[in-house]
Amino acid sequence: MNRLWKIFTSLRLTVVLLGLGIVLVWVGTVAQADEGLYQAQSRYFKHWYVWGLTLFGHKVPLPLPGGYTIGVLLLVNLVSAHIKRFQWSAKKFGIHLTHAGVILLLVGQLFTDVFSRETQLRFFEGQSKTWSESATDYELAFTTDAGGDAEEVVVIPQKLLMQAAEKGVELKDAKLPVGVRVKSWWKNSRSAFRAPMQANQPPLTTNGLARHFDFRQTGETKSMDSKNIPTALLELASPAGPLGTWIASGWAGDEVMVDWTVEGYEEEMGPQLAKAVRARLTEPQGFEAGGKRWALTLRPARTYNPYSLTLLKPTHSVYVGTVTSATPEGIPKDFRSRVRIENPQTRENREVEIYMNSPLRYAGLTFFQLQMDASERTRQRGRTPSSTLQVVRNPAWLTPYAGCGIVGAGLVIQFMIHLVGFVSRRKTK
């Protein structure tokens, strides 16, 4: 125990950990070029260890402690050393305060890592939404009419679908209207409209979406400018018997991808074909089970809120004179969204303006202005303007501010203690 105690309280451990931290940050940053931002962040900084590094396109079979290990050991080292050498003295108050600030920073970072969640809210002018959705994760949603304007929803998260595909097991649950066997899970896929004059190969299945679209597995993307669009081949079975094989794809369930696909067809093949593509892509895939009519969709994972946000007016201003044939969208000057919050629980009903550096903080969430499609060109093309907000839940968002403030105050106090002492001693001499 004494040996372990010595190690934990040693300054050598601090130096080693800081050195490893520098190496990890450098390796993790370089690896982003090959592995992509999200994977590199997850593999190097949000893990206990890293096995196998990627440096300038080469795989290096070396181990490295992960961000969690270095952070936790630094915290233990700092607290242990502080406890061991703790001396209550007014002269060292600044040092204690500085250490407390560093501890708060480390603990705060750990909490942020564990608890923070990021989603996106994309809405059109005049549209109200009570939910935001993940930019990376999808969910398989079964929906059925629940009377009035409500629907009953059963969702299976992407992780479970991937696990079921790997293990070849059938997903069964009392909440689910059917048993689901994931025959194939493609993390990234491509889609193509089976236009009548070109539908050549037999479709993947003869149900729903697959009658009109072909899907093909493609390599996983790691670029920040693109995203993986999953597609799943599902075998459904109700207690009454098998319901056949169905395709569920982010290409049909992700509003952003539907718009992107339709726009592409519009540019390439004209508005009439694009209209046909949209109609078939968004046509609900339905089946009967347990006396109810259900629809299935692979959509971005949603997070619901007990209040709604309505986009009243998105404003996309550009610098005067920058709209040219070379830059038809102009150079953006300002994006801002005027939104209405309606909360039936608190009877709140008010308007807020969200723009850069002025997010909306509401009910534990922060809404940042992220993207905007509301330019003059958008309106001229007959498209409804839209805005996308980044929705961040981070209960520990204040800790970096508080931590830095405490560290700063500690250093100033310690410096002043020394300065006052030095000046006093000079006067005495």
Partner 1 sequence: MTAEVSPARCANFFRRAGVLLLPLLLAGCDEPKITSYRAPKDAPAPVAASADGARDAEAMPAPPRARPQLSWTLPAGWKEAGPGRMSIASFTITGEGGKQAQVTITPLPPLGGREAAVVNMWREQAGQPELSEEEAAKQLQPVEVGGETGKLFEVSTKGEGTNAPMRIVTAMVHRADASWFYKLSGDVAVVEAQRPAFVEFLKSIRIKEAPAETAEAPAASSSFKWKVPDGWQSVTPGQMQDAKFSVPANGAAKADVTVSIFPSDTGGTLGNVTRWRRQIGLGEISEADLAKLVTPLDPANSGAMLVDMTNGGKQLIGAIVPRGGRWFFYKLLGDEAAVAPQKEMFVAFVKSEP
> Exposed/middle/buried for 153, CB within 10 Å: 0-12, 13-18, 19+?
middle
Complex with partner 1: residue 11 or 150, whichever CB lies closer: 150
**239 is an interface residue for partner 1 by CB under 8 A:** no
Interior CA angle at 50 toward 49 and 56, to 5°? 160
Longest dimension (CA), the chain: 100
Choice from 32, 41, 42, 130 touching partner 1 (CB under 8 A) = 130
- Answer yes or no: are the C-beta atoms of 140 and 284 closer than 8 Å: no
Choice from 307, 383, 393, 397 touching partner 1 (CB under 8 A) = 383
CB of 5 to partner 1, least distance (A): 4
Choice from 56, 223, 239, 320 touching partner 1 (CB under 8 A) = 320
Number of residues that bind partner 1 (CB under 8 A): 70
Complex with partner 1: residue 27 or 156, whichever CB lies closer: 156
**202 is an interface residue for partner 1 by CB under 8 A:** yes
Stretch of 173-181, 217-225, 243-251, 329-337 contacting partner 1, by CB under 8 A: 173-181
CB of 41 to partner 1, least distance (A): 16
User: 383-398: buried (b, 16+ CB within 10 Å) or exposed (e) per residue?
Assistant: eebbbbbbbbbbebbe
CB of 138 to partner 1, least distance (A): 12
* Nearest residue to 253 via CA among 381, 104, 143: 143
Q: What is the DSSP string of 312-324?
A: EEEEEEE-TT---
**11 is an interface residue for partner 1 by CB under 8 A:** no
Choice from 35, 214, 254, 373 touching partner 1 (CB under 8 A) = 214
3-state SS class at 405: helix
3-state SS class at 416: helix
307: tokens are: 């209040």
**411 is an interface residue for partner 1 by CB under 8 A:** no
CB of 52 to partner 1, least distance (A): 24
Give the up-direction half-sphere exposure of residue 157: CA atoms within 13 A in the CB hemisphere: 9
Alpha-carbon span 144 to 142, nearest angstrom: 7
- Answer yes or no: are the C-beta atoms of 46 and 113 closer than 8 Å: yes
Stretch of 57-65, 373-381, 398-406, 411-419 contacting partner 1, by CB under 8 A: 373-381
409: tokens are: 């105050």
CB of 259 to partner 1, least distance (A): 9
Interacting residues toward partner 1 by CB under 8 A:
1-2, 4-5, 76, 79-80, 83-84, 86-89, 110-111, 114-115, 124-128, 130-131, 146, 149-160, 163, 171, 173, 175-176, 192, 195-198, 200-202, 214, 216, 255, 268-273, 304, 313, 320, 376, 379-385
